[in-house]
DNA sequence: ACACCTTTGAAGACG
DNA sequence: CGTCTTCAAAGGTGT
């Protein structure tokens, strides 16, 4: 991933977060050492963006309003952050984190898991069109976010490391090879509770006193047989019909099972189902928070919403982000177990985006060329970011975090 | 009908 | 090994 400044001063908290998850031991010290500095840089950059960024989109005003609100909140958070840093340097939070991978989440899916059904407090801001099944793993209440000592085999995401059938994962998704279809109903892809969206008061939505998720309707996967079905018989959100562009109502949305017209269309074109990439931490965050932002900011345009979400992501504390990184890690593990032979490259070649099925190589090349041209416009040479947006808007270019120091 | 926009992160490709 | 590229989601907008 292109970084504004690679090396010593990581510009964004997200990246060093990943380092903290991925590396053990030696990284630990570095991270504790740099915990404040890096975060501070991220804060600095974020505040720069909030203060000066302008937006050319039709929703620029709303985005700016959001920025201002966020910035106010951010300043408060920044004060708290100082306390947090001292905690980290005491060997608290990050000591516990360095043992990546770790599982600190209570398991709402395991019938006899560590969390009783009554304590299955899963606070989910439900989108109108579905919820990622793993999102329910998020213990949004900080009370439940309790980093525990790692008890997983070390870094399963490392290449060359054999993918273990980790107990943790098999607990979530008891999927021994060849027996993956025996997922207990409580562990199937379920519909998620629908909680009312907040108003623009921007309250913290993650109350720990949430209704028992068992009181919400569930759909056992036996009801979900359909195009999004893994060959093993397990429906998985990563599988989408090859009809091209993904239905905006998620493939794991219960509504997908009530679209016979699409069904007939698929029957006409029986193609190999497409296995999508597992969602990363930010994607999971977006999925969860999108509805909230829409409600608060009365925005609908995804591009604008994503800008806001990007800023909010950076405004999150490490602890808050860690929830999503952990969730994403589980997502990847699950994905690896369900589709061991899948590679992200499969979807590169399929040319899924926009997808009327497979794209010709010429189209694919065109797209690549366009992207290259676009990136050449950017002085950073990397992907556009909120930071880049500034520069295009003619505002004086902000100092890069390192330059600001 | 479909590409684009916009975000971050993961992973593959490539020099 | 470092950098670049693509794709995950989303839905309004533009062609």
From the CA of A382 to the C1' of C3: give the distance in Å: 10
Highest mean pLDDT range out of A103-107, A228-232, A265-269, A304-308? A304-308
pLDDT digits (tens, 9 = 90+) for A40-73: 444 433 433 343 333 344 455 555 666 665 555 4
pLDDT digits (tens, 9 = 90+) for A137-174: 443 333 333 333 333 333 333 333 343 444 343 333 33
Helix (H) or strand (E) holding A363, with range, is helix A361-377
Would you say residue A264 has pLDDT above 50? no
> Residue range A3-8: average pLDDT?
33
Find which nucleotide's C1' atom is closest to A280's CA.
B9
What pLDDT score was predicted for residue A290?
Answer: 92
From residue A132, how far is each of A120, A208, A253 by CA, in Å? 17, 20, 8
Confirm whether any atom of chain B, the nucleic acid strand, is less than 7 Å from CB of A317.
no
Residue A101: cis peptide before it, omega within 30 degrees of 0: yes
> Residue range A197-221: average pLDDT?
31
The overall average pLDDT reported for chain A is 49
Contact assessment for residue A315 and residue A77, using Cβ atoms and an 8 Å cutoff: yes
What pLDDT score was predicted for residue A62?
Answer: 58
Would you say residue A336 has pLDDT above 80? yes
From residue A354, how far is each of A68, A245, A367 by CA, in Å? 34, 5, 11
CB atoms within 10 A of CB A372: 9
Confirm whether any atom of chain C, the nucleic acid strand, is less than 7 Å from CB of A306.
yes
Helix (H) or strand (E) holding A239, with range, is strand A239-240
d(CA A175, CA A273): 20
> Residue range A18-24: average pLDDT?
36
Interface residues 318-337 of A with strand B (CB < 7 Å): 321, 325, 328, 332
Highest mean pLDDT range out of A133-142, A303-312, A341-350? A303-312
| CA of residue A251 relative to chain centroid, distance | 17
Share of chain A above pLDDT 90, in %: 13
What pLDDT score was predicted for residue A273?
Answer: 75
Find which nucleotide's C1' atom is closest to A392's CA.
B6
**pLDDT tier for residue A311 given thresholds of 50, 70 and 90:** very high
> Residue range A306-325: average pLDDT?
94
Confirm whether any atom of chain B, the nucleic acid strand, is less than 7 Å from CB of A100.
no
Identify which has the larger pLDDT, A24 or A75. Answer: A75
What pLDDT score was predicted for residue A346?
Answer: 85
Contact assessment for residue A21 and residue A101, using Cβ atoms and an 8 Å cutoff: yes
Confirm whether any atom of chain B, the nucleic acid strand, is less than 7 Å from CB of A161.
no
A134 DSSP assignment: G
The protein residue nearest nucleotide C12, judged by CA to C1', is A301
**pLDDT tier for residue A304 given thresholds of 50, 70 and 90:** very high
Would you say residue A122 has pLDDT above 60? no
pLDDT digits (tens, 9 = 90+) for A392-404: 333 333 333 333 2
> Residue range A269-275: average pLDDT?
69
Would you say residue A276 has pLDDT above 80? yes
What pLDDT score was predicted for residue A297?
Answer: 86
> Residue range A309-330: average pLDDT?
94
**pLDDT tier for residue A332 given thresholds of 50, 70 and 90:** very high
Contact assessment for residue A380 and residue A388, using Cβ atoms and an 8 Å cutoff: yes
Confirm whether any atom of chain C, the nucleic acid strand, is less than 7 Å from CB of A236.
no
Confirm whether any atom of chain C, the nucleic acid strand, is less than 7 Å from CB of A348.
yes
**pLDDT tier for residue A370 given thresholds of 50, 70 and 90:** low
Interface residues 1-40 of A with strand B (CB < 7 Å): 1, 12-15, 17-18, 21
Quick check: helix, strand or coil at residue A324?
helix
Share of chain A above pLDDT 70, in %: 19
d(CA A274, CA A288): 23
- Protein-contacted bases of chain C (C-beta within 7 A): 2-14
d(CA A148, CA A198): 31
From the CA of A133 to the C1' of C7: give the distance in Å: 20
What pLDDT score was predicted for residue A257?
Answer: 28
Torsion of CA A192, A198, A204, A207, to 10 degrees: -40
């Amino acid at each position: 991933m292109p970084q504004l400044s690679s090396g010593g001063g990581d510009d964004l908290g997200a990246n060093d977060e990943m380092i903290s998850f991925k590396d053990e031991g030696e990284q630990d010290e570095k991270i504790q050492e740099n915990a404040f500095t890096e975060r501070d840089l991220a804060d600095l950059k974020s505040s720069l963006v909030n203060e000066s960024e302008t937006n050319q989109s039709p929703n620029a005003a709303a985005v700016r309003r959001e920025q201002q609100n966020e910035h106010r909140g951010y300043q408060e958070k920044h004060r708290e952050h100082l306390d947090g840093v001292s905690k980290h340097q005491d060997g608290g939070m990050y000591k516990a984190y360095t043992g990546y991978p770790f599982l600190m989440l209570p398991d709402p899916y395991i019938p006899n898991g560590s969390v009783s059904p009554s304590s299955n407090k899963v606070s989910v801001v439900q989108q109108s069109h579905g919820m990622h099944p793993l999102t329910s793993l998020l213990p949004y209440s900080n009370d439940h976010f309790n980093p525990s000592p790692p008890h997983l085999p070390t870094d399963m995401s490392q290449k060359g490391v054999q993918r273990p059938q980790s107990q943790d994962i098999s607990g979530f998704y008891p999927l021994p090879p060849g027996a993956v279809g025996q997922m207990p109903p409580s562990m199937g892809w379920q519909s998620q509770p629908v909680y009312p969206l907040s108003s623009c008061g921007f309250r913290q939505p993650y109350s720990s006193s949430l209704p028992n998720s068992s009181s919400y309707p569930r759909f056992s996967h036996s009801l979900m047989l359909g195009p999004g079905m893994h060959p093993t018989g397990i429906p998985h959100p990563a599988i989408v019909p090859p009809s091209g562009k993904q239905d905006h109502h998620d493939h794991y949305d219960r509504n997908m099972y009530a679209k016979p017209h699409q069904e007939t269309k698929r029957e006409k074109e029986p193609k190999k189902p497409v296995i999508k990439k597992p969602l990363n931490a930010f994607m999971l965050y977006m999925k969860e928070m999108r509805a909230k932002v829409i409600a608060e900011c009365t925005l609908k345009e995804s591009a604008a919403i994503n800008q806001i979400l990007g800023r909010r992501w950076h405004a999150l504390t490490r602890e808050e982000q860690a929830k999503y990184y952990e969730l994403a890690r589980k997502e990847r593990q699950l994905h690896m177990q369900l589709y061991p032979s899948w590679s992200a490259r499969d979807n590169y070649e399929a040319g899924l985006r926009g997808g009327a099925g497979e794209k010709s190589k010429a189209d694919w090349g065109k797209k690549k060329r366009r992207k290259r041209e676009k990136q050449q416009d950017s002085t950073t040479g990397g992907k556009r970011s909120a930071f880049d947006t500034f520069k295009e808007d003619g505002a004086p270019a902000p100092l890069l975090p390192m330059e600001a120091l």
